Structure 1
Amino acid sequence: MAKKKMSKKKFRIVWNSILSVLLVIVLAANVALYYFSDVITSYFSTIDLDSAEAVKARESSELVAEQIADEGIVLLQNDENALPLDTSEDSKTKVNVFGWSFTNPIYGGTGSGSSDASTAVTPKAGLEAAGFEVNEQLYNAYVDTGIKRPLVGMDGQDWSIPEPKPSDFYTDELMQQAKDFSDVAIIFLARSGGEGADLPRTMDGPDTFDPDGGSFGATGQKFGYEDDLDASKHYLELSNREQGMIDAVTQNFNNVILVVNSANTFELGWVDQYDQIKSVLNVAGPGQNGFNSLGKVLSGEVNPSGRTVDLYPKDLLDSPAIANFGDFDYVIENNDGTYSQAVDSSNVLLKYVDYSEGIYVGYRFYETAATLGAINYDEKVQYPFGYGLSYTSFEQEVVPNSLNWTDTEVTVDVKVTNTGSVEGKDVVQLYFTAPYTGKIEKSSIDLAAFEKTNSIKPGESETVTLTFNVEDMASYDANKQYSDTGSYVLEAGEYKLMLMNNSHEKIADVGSKNLTEIVYDSTGRSTDKQVAVNQFDDEVTGEGSITTYLSRANNFANLTDINKNEIYTVTTSEGSTKEVKGKLVDSEFVSFINSSRYDVPADTNDKAPITGADNGKQLKDYTGLDINDESWDQLLDQLTVDDLVNLATLGGYRTLEIDSVGKPGTLDYDGPAAINNMNMAANGQSGTAFPSEIMIASTWNLELAEAMGEHVGAEAKAYGVTGWYAPAMNIHRTAFAGRNFEYYSEDGLLSGKMAAAVTKGFQSQGGYVYIKHFALNDQETNRTFGVLTWSNEQAIREIYLKPFEIAVKEGGAKAVMSSFNSIGNTWAGADNGLLKEVLRNEWGFAGHVITDFYMNGGGLNAYPYMNVELALRNGNDLMLTGAAPMGVPEVNTSSNDTLWALRDAAHNILYNTANSIAIEGDLSSEMPQWVIITIIIDALLVLGFATAFFFVFRNSKKREEIVDSIKAV
């Protein structure tokens, strides 16, 4: 039977339908491509890493990176002068290295602070380059275990501590082979850290986050090797398997060297139990080639000169801050007597953290408590702050009559003599003691100034000059004992200066002076542009704030009173129950937080700013012009409303090109250890991996810090990158913060000086830094909930803002990244007191502020407390929308106040661009390659569809003609 032919009408309908559907699909695909053009362009963008300028910059960077590691390795113990190993003897060049981590070490950290270490020098290669022969059989035995480095990152945390089971691995045969190979044993331990999660304080996880986690938060907590896991231990002490390894090694070797590869302070009190462990070295994340430095230090080619940047307690859970670090909930009592976690109006859990220890962070607590007799220092502390050993000996003495203590400045010369037999460098540390009257809290000792010497040959000397301002010894009177506003105060009394080896070991009294009372409430300090007054009272003294702060009164009598958290059994939204630690609040408190987070004030401006004017101005003409010059108005008037909105809201890893004012686009990439971000990582690209910031700080060498910034800046310039999301300078409040590796220290002065030096170095190459995370972002736990961080203004200013203040005032930082957390009840990215009053008006900052990763708009509602209207109005100029258009907020352009805030934001961004190397480039007219390919494909598809529709129509027409002919016959 013949197949029935399709009728002309059906033929036309079917094929027109098919072609129409295909056309709709193509049109939808083009709309999607347009919508996600930013993401696609970012993914397919590459940076020319092979240009002559880029190659030269990286080669130079690698030299500086290794110099940093040379001076950043800290020698913590060296009994019987066990180090350096004598490489002149064949027997000493052979070494056994125990510890699985030697085969897979930690080069830095994870998250936005990570860098590509795929080509980095391994510890084994570093030792071999220094002339050592590593026991290959032992090394391969670890490799053959098949153990992999656990993931500690934003996508999940595996806190397993990888080591083979001692009873199975350390057989008599293996240990005998090792002893036959060499009598030198090196033990290698490593710990990781990263963005998104803090380190666990118990290895079964009950004090960590919600296992389900969230965006940029801890997810998938895992703790491995359950067969011998000791849940009572924390991540920064020996695991049971490591303990077994150390027992096995020390039972077979009497000359043991311990290498701790960790940026987080590791608990080392157990070392005292092993006479066989002669030497201890700390190697924080060494970056690209820092393990070369380890080999050189072990061989004596490099004399170690690093110093600790944190005090090492014997028990890391002993510090006052630990009691209020981690996961804390606000809890509401329900009508039926049950409890539930408090949430805001956007269903964000209300999490908090109390900085109840006040100013007594790190060495400030331990040194003060020891001075008062409240603790036995030797029982509590393993190594002081600023501590480190050398292969030589130094003598430091104050140059007679060199102390010059005026009303404004203190200057003193210190002569440093190498009294040993090896060339080396020393660190000179000057501390002060201020009088304690009971009105303002005071540490018994504070770092005032420091310098690192050049390399000094045996028998030779170098004189260094230490200088600081008298007003730097002032404390902040947050409780208004001396003024009605709060102010910096030099209380009357005796101020003492001490030359110290570290925070605990005094070399000499430098001098003392009785000062009269000075209250900086009218003229302010010499470095302030505006008198400092309390700016955070509304945020940190309202409902929900801390009622008791640690005080040294009566020998820290209230130390046991600073932890007021209770345990509650709460019912979750799914109906299950769990225990949480927290505080009880009521609905009024929740309403108070809702108002702080989400209420946008009514407009105060009757008129909108001028937009879209034709004044003929170009941004390049404004280079070098003061930011407050009135002529900026003519340029700003040219910006359209779309220009204003797009410039502020599309700020992830860039600033936009704006044709109306001739603004070129910029690339702003991550750090802080390398020029790196998600775009480069997606294409297997990265700048030089410098050592982690804690290792940079451990050098105590500001010249090296500036050189590091300069060389990162040179690389950025070669790659076409203008802005750098670095340096990071939050405080090591505890040892367990996940991002301690990318922060400098527990001390604000050391952190600030390092940050200022890096900033000056980078910006000397024509770019600008984004100092971060501003401020009090000192833990990862609950950061993406906008954790309510409660402190007092004295601690905020003296400890947590200090590094940023120095980076702005001395380093000239031009950009700032605000933080996820809240300061008290106010998101840091919308805190007027922080971003306008303190940063701009007090410190004189001129530039722009960007948020941390922004995801509240464009279909995403991950961080609803990040309110774009409040951010713009309170000094945050740019939204870090890293997955544009997802996360890009809608801006209320009908609000005059918002339009004026957008104009101010544009002003700040344009000012930075005009004074950067980016202004030298032309506006980009080059179309991305994928867009060109898409246009070609679209053109071909249009031609194809036109042809197809033509043939369908013609074929249908022929069928009609044939039918008509048949009918006529």
Structure 2
Amino acid sequence: MSKTKNKKRSRIIWRSVLSVLLVIAIGANIALYHFSDVISAYFSTIDMDSKEAVAARETSTKLVEKIADEGIVLLKNDDNTLPLKTSQEKKTKVNVFGWSFTNPIYGGTGSGSADASTAVTPKAGLESAGFEVNEQLYKAYVDTGLERPMVGMNGQDWTIPEPEPTKFYTNELMRQAKEFSDTAIIFIARSGGEGADLPVSLDGEDTFDPEGGAFGATGVRYGNKDDLDANKHYLELSNREKGMIDAVTANFDNVILVVNSSNTFELGWVKDYSQIKSVVNIAGPGQNGFTSLGKVLAGQVNPSGRTVDIYTADLLKNPAMSSFGDQYYVLKNEDGSYSIATDKQKVKLNYVDYKEGVYLGYRFYETAADEGAINYDEEVVYPFGYGLSYTEFAQEVVPNSLKWDDENISVDVKVTNTGSVEGKEVVQLYYSAPYTGKIEKPSKVLGAFAKTDVIKPGESETITLSFKVEDMASYDSNKVYTSNGGYVLEAGEYSLMLMKNSHEKITDVASKELSQVTYYTEGRSSDQQVAVNRLDNELTGEGSLTKVLSRANGFANLNEVLTQDQTYTVKDAENKTMTVKGKVTTTNFVNYINGIRYDVPADTNDKAPTTGAENGKTLKDYVGVDYNDESWDTLLDQLTVDDLVSLSTLGGYRTVEIESVGKPATLDYDGPAAINNMNMAANGQSGIAFPAEVMLASTWNVELAKQMGESIGAEAQAYGVTGWYAPAMNIHRTAFAGRNFEYYSEDGLLSGKMAAAVTNGFQSKGGYVYIKHFALNDQETNRTNGVLTWANEQTVREVYLKPFELAVKEGGAGAVMSSFNSIGNTWAGASSGLLKEILRNEWGFTGLVVTDFYMINAYPYMNYELGIRSGNDLYLTGAAPVGVAEVNTESNDTLWAMRDAAHSILYTVANSSAIDNPMSSETPTWVKITIAVDVLVALGIGIGFFLTFRKGKEKGKENAA
């Protein structure tokens, strides 16, 4: 081959290489453009050392301890075993048994988690209070090599770490412990988190569906094979723990049990051990809450926490457990076999029935006891609102202080410390409404509560408790008195009771006879629109709830309601047989669900909205302008179609900048226990870890809740964060819900008051909250399948919407996060009855609604067009452009819906600190580096092409010559 041909081939190869490099460079830049927000978030850092950030974290750290001081609940204290006397001069020696003492639970996992890598350990907390912990025993647990198993969104291992009792608790170990101290503390812990509910049977690897994936259960590795017991659940003693307790109580007469769990733990077994004198519950305590545990055990802090859920002897006997977890619709095939019903996107059709109705938690157990349907002492270990103190308090109604007219109720209660130690007391006022058999009513409902300041021995404090008469009204969803549902006060006797807790009455306060039914036909005083049935379209029809628990005849239908579902042997997707709990439905039902989830109605608007107008307005001009002011149209007209699409679809942990109206970008971060998000975590940064919300609620201190909101709000401002995906306020429907740690209580009033206070506190610093998850997201199982959640509207309104209602009406919540699950047959984010009629029109909400995590390929039922038309304004997309909705901009109805969404988003941002303190618009460092690299690469490729083409031309001239 000639030298000329070799050179020609070489030029062709180099041109090809350069062309490939050019294509790669262009492709890389396109990819970087699409993922620029994610990359910026990953590489960006927050100035954690700024004066404002340091001051905010110092305040938060102090507040964490205050919350833990009041959120620890003393459940038992026989023989005044606690407090244990300590002093710094002569430390009190204690043995602490239980592996979890070396690796406790600080909170939960998922969006409600927080960085506890530098948190105060239980050992350090005890030592700081003057205890000397048995180091040899502690080291023996550490030397076992056990690790805390993973319980999170990417998988669950429900192993309960504990050494094998017969091998660990040797005669030598117990002898050393007894010589060290005659006092033993037993430490037991339970975890929980986003993505899966706690197992109701420890039966091994088939506890959960191994195909769950992210945001769902991904199977179980169970290390302690001797703990596998299908007859036991996660919230009772494991076999190894039972062995440990037997060993400890056989050697010690003074035993203190510490339960480190946000989920209610079964404690009926304690009565079988006379050696266990005291029981203390500490939920996830956050950054330095274990310091409070030491102080409480030492008597440096007098415990004042109260239970936020009822503690029952058998958690599985809770009526709500009859429809909780994995339940399917099944179809009967032509050959008589059964199969799991799926929709056209191959999403399994799961359901959960709120068959217990309004009789949830203490509302059931107190009512059932009053009706003679249960033996309360056998069924209940500790009531709702229960907790002990190191002192005694007397509560009495101040004479002539009761005021009860047609609208308001108030009463003064004098609280006197009759003991010898200063402390705080919780005052609880319950009401009883008449049960006529027409509308379901619990016999006792919490009406108002308050917490005193510190009261010294012999001194008193007077507390005023108040609520509105209309708060006692029941919702008539079955239209007994109303034509379309509504709130009514039935005729009969209404009573007020001052209670120590949900079961122990201090005194009857008053009663009043209502001679006729009161109808709220003009709406309650706090409503902007009359409340009527708004969810009938979602909550009725095939596949819906058929039986609801009734108080009639002493809960005569209890067994019938709890056993209405059956088990079926079905074929799964791989044609394997499996047994499922479910109910048979028809193919028509599946087709109907397909229509509800995926069919977008035809347009009703003939014209599209005005877009791209040049009116010269900016968002700053609308600070403080009423949401309903017509002048907003002038600003909204300026938005282009691209603006509308970007503003609503790119809502993952932010709202985007919109130049046409001068809207700044904002950062929106998780989570209920801390300011926490992916770029903070990626760079080892996190806000201070606050106690789990259940511990905050256990304080029964609304002022502390407000301070928590203020403190996290101050941190957010210091970090440049405006929106906060919190507080979370779903209901503890059962003890086994995976995210109970980040929800407050089984009671809507307690949850709502806490949420409203946190909301007020955070938003006072200039940010806005996203109260979540709206609504009926009370289990993790199948939530990302859009599980069909069925209840009657009375149950929905009186129990599950109550916290959200209070957070909006009293807290002024600026934003809401909708939920993965469905309200009846309709995805919550596409329920206009929920998002438009109840939230906006009835409650007066004017903020924005964001979805839970949105990835259309993973969660196809989260239909963008149906959601945006139904009042779901913003879509929480992750790694753009993956999973972002494709918007039909040819639809006039969709364009108008996006305009409404833009209105809500702009209004929310306009009334936040982001207007005066916008995010920095400085070009990120990685972008500058990329530009520099692009210039060098382009220059290199350009020179390469120039040289190869120039040499080719020169050679051509030589040949021509």
Category of TM-score, reference length = shorter chain: over 0.9
Aligned to 1:760: 760
Aligned to 2:85: 86
Aligned to 1:882: 878
Aligned to 1:126: 125
Structure 2 vs 1, CA of residues 11 and 89 (structure 1 numbering), >3 Å: closer, same or farther? closer
Amino acid at match of 1:315: D
Say which SS state the counterpart of residue 709 (structure 1) adopts: helix
The offset of 1:928, in angstroms, is: 1.6
Amino acid at match of 2:874: L
The offset of 1:4, in angstroms, is: 6.4
Say which SS state the counterpart of residue 511 (structure 1) adopts: strand
The offset of 1:921, in angstroms, is: 2.8
Aligned to 1:718: 718
The offset of 1:214, in angstroms, is: 3.0
Amino acid at match of 1:386: G
Q: In 1, distance between residues paired with 2:205 and 2:506? A: 45
Amino acid at match of 1:683: N
Aligned to 2:641: 641
Query: What TM-score, normalized by structure 2, do the two folds share?
Result: 0.98
Is the Cα contact below 8 Å between 2:87 and 2:130 reproduced in 1?
no
The offset of 1:72, in angstroms, is: 0.1
Aligned to 1:735: 735
Aligned to 2:160: 161
Aligned to 1:245: 244
Q: In 1, distance between residues paired with 2:10 and 2:566? A: 76
Aligned to 2:413: 414
Deviations 1:502-526 (A, max 9, x none): 0000000101000233443421111
Deviations 1:517-570 (A, max 9, x none): 344342111111100000111111211111110001111111111132111111
Q: Which moves more between the two structures, 902-911 or 329-338?
A: 329-338
Is the Cα contact below 8 Å between 2:206 and 2:220 reproduced in 1?
no
Aligned to 1:610: 610
Q: In 1, distance between residues paired with 2:806 and 2:206? A: 35
Aligned to 2:141: 142
Q: In 2, distance between residues paired with 1:520 and 1:667? A: 45
Q: In 2, distance between residues paired with 1:6 and 1:254? A: 98
Q: In 1, distance between residues paired with 2:956 and 2:632? A: 71
Is it true that 1:867 corresponds to 2:863 in the alignment? Answer: yes
The offset of 1:959, in angstroms, is: 4.9
Is it true that 1:653 corresponds to 2:653 in the alignment? Answer: yes
Aligned to 1:910: 906
The offset of 1:684, in angstroms, is: 1.2
Aligned to 2:468: 469
Q: In 1, distance between residues paired with 2:870 and 2:259? A: 44
Is the Cα contact below 8 Å between 2:666 and 2:919 reproduced in 1?
no
Q: In 1, distance between residues paired with 2:589 and 2:638? A: 45
Is it true that 1:170 corresponds to 2:169 in the alignment? Answer: yes
Amino acid at match of 1:695: M
Instruction: Map 1:284-323; keep pairs closer than 5 Å.
Output: 284-323=283-322
Q: In 1, distance between residues paired with 2:651 and 2:633? A: 23
Q: Aligned pairs, how many?
A: 960
Aligned to 2:404: 405
Say which SS state the counterpart of residue 438 (structure 1) adopts: coil
Say which SS state the counterpart of residue 450 (structure 1) adopts: strand
Q: Which moves more between the two structures, 21-30 or 144-153?
A: 21-30
The offset of 1:951, in angstroms, is: 2.6
Say which SS state the counterpart of residue 570 (structure 2) adopts: strand
Aligned to 1:811: 811
Is it true that 1:782 corresponds to 2:782 in the alignment? Answer: yes
Q: In 2, distance between residues paired with 1:187 and 1:169? A: 15
Q: Which moves more between the two structures, 597-606 or 651-660?
A: 597-606
Q: In 2, distance between residues paired with 1:875 and 1:426? A: 43
Give structure 1 stretches of 5+ with no counterpart.
none
Is it true that 1:452 corresponds to 2:451 in the alignment? Answer: yes
Aligned to 1:951: 947
Q: In 1, distance between residues paired with 2:713 and 2:340? A: 46
Say which SS state the counterpart of residue 186 (structure 1) adopts: strand
RMSD: 1.4
Amino acid at match of 1:471: E
Aligned to 1:331: 330
Say which SS state the counterpart of residue 555 (structure 2) adopts: coil
Is it true that 1:560 corresponds to 2:556 in the alignment? Answer: no
Aligned to 2:930: 934
Deviations 1:102-127 (A, max 9, x none): 00000000000000000000001111
Say which SS state the counterpart of residue 936 (structure 2) adopts: helix
Say which SS state the counterpart of residue 918 (structure 1) adopts: coil
Amino acid at match of 1:684: G
The offset of 1:578, in angstroms, is: 1.0
Aligned to 1:632: 632
Aligned to 2:439: 440
Q: In 1, distance between residues paired with 2:76 and 2:790? A: 38
The offset of 1:221, in angstroms, is: 2.2
Q: In 2, distance between residues paired with 1:88 and 1:32? A: 63
Is the Cα contact below 8 Å between 1:615 and 1:634 reproduced in 2?
yes
The offset of 1:25, in angstroms, is: 1.3
Say which SS state the counterpart of residue 47 (structure 2) adopts: coil
Deviations 1:86-109 (A, max 9, x none): 115988711111000000000000
Deviations 1:123-165 (A, max 9, x none): 0111111111111111011111110100000000000000000
Q: In 2, distance between residues paired with 1:366 and 1:751? A: 19
Is the Cα contact below 8 Å between 1:329 and 1:583 reproduced in 2?
yes
Aligned to 2:575: 575
Is the Cα contact below 8 Å between 2:204 and 2:228 reproduced in 1?
no
Is the Cα contact below 8 Å between 1:665 and 1:924 reproduced in 2?
no
Is the Cα contact below 8 Å between 2:88 and 2:130 reproduced in 1?
no
Deviations 1:802-856 (A, max 9, x none): 0000111111111000000001101000100100000011111110000000000
Aligned to 1:115: 114
Query: What TM-score, normalized by structure 1, do the two folds share?
Result: 0.98
Q: In 1, distance between residues paired with 2:894 and 2:621? A: 27
The offset of 1:763, in angstroms, is: 0.4
Deviations 1:933-957 (A, max 9, x none): 1110000001111122223234445
Aligned to 1:367: 366
Amino acid at match of 1:824: G
Aligned to 1:801: 801
Q: In 2, distance between residues paired with 1:361 and 1:289? A: 33
Is the Cα contact below 8 Å between 2:205 and 2:221 reproduced in 1?
no
Amino acid at match of 1:13: I
Aligned to 1:845: 845
Give structure 2 stretches of 5+ with no counterpart.
none
Q: In 1, distance between residues paired with 2:953 and 2:841? A: 78
The offset of 1:206, in angstroms, is: 8.0
Is the Cα contact below 8 Å between 1:215 and 1:784 reproduced in 2?
no
Amino acid at match of 1:836: K
Is the Cα contact below 8 Å between 1:209 and 1:327 reproduced in 2?
no
Q: In 2, distance between residues paired with 1:150 and 1:517? A: 59
The offset of 1:961, in angstroms, is: 6.2
Structure 2 vs 1, CA of residues 226 and 205 (structure 1 numbering), >3 Å: closer, same or farther? closer
The offset of 1:925, in angstroms, is: 2.9
Instruction: Map 1:97-108; keep pairs closer than 5 Å.
Output: 97-108=96-107
Amino acid at match of 1:73: I
Q: In 2, distance between residues paired with 1:646 and 1:596? A: 26
Instruction: Map 1:475-490; keep pairs closer than 5 Å.
Output: 475-490=474-489
Amino acid at match of 1:833: G
Q: In 2, distance between residues paired with 1:94 and 1:325? A: 45
The offset of 1:442, in angstroms, is: 0.5
Q: Which moves more between the two structures, 565-574 or 426-435?
A: 565-574
Is the Cα contact below 8 Å between 2:694 and 2:745 reproduced in 1?
yes
Amino acid at match of 2:841: N
Is the Cα contact below 8 Å between 1:757 and 1:811 reproduced in 2?
yes
Amino acid at match of 2:660: S
Is the Cα contact below 8 Å between 2:542 and 2:585 reproduced in 1?
no
Amino acid at match of 1:391: Y
Q: Could you tell me the percent identity over the aligned residues?
A: 74
Is the Cα contact below 8 Å between 1:147 and 1:162 reproduced in 2?
yes
Q: In 2, distance between residues paired with 1:187 and 1:92? A: 19
Q: In 1, distance between residues paired with 2:158 and 2:656? A: 40
Say which SS state the counterpart of residue 552 (structure 2) adopts: coil
Is the Cα contact below 8 Å between 2:296 and 2:303 reproduced in 1?
yes
Deviations 1:216-274 (A, max 9, x none): 11112232211342221000000000001000100111111100000000000000000
Q: In 1, distance between residues paired with 2:842 and 2:206? A: 39
Q: In 2, distance between residues paired with 1:883 and 1:543? A: 38
The offset of 1:184, in angstroms, is: 0.9
